[in-house]
Amino acid sequence: MDWIKKNNTLTKSFTFKNFSEAFAFISRVALLAEQMNHHPTWTNTYNKVTIELSTHDAGNMVTEKDEALARAIDQLIG
């Protein structure tokens, strides 16, 4: 599934085998987001992680920062 642009956010859901794999993914995204100084909004329920990206200091709009983080997150999945 590709990122969906909706309501001024980029959104994507990821499904893993179990909670441990989902949590490991969240940890990797957290380190990446910290490096890029751009932090997502996300939810996690058991093996599913949903990420929403928008740039808060640009009025909650999708910017190149969001596009870049989305590409980097996709590379984590490989």
State the pLDDT confidence band at 57, using cuts at 50, 70 and 90: confident
pLDDT, average across residues 5-34: 97
Asked if 47 and 19 count as a contact pair (C-beta separation under 8 A), the reply is yes
pTM value surpassing 0.85: yes
pLDDT, average across residues 39-47: 97
CATH superfamily of 4-77: Transcriptional coactivator/pterin dehydratase (3.30.1360.20)
pLDDT at site 71: 96
pLDDT at site 9: 96
pLDDT at site 1: 65
Domain boundaries, the chain: 4-77
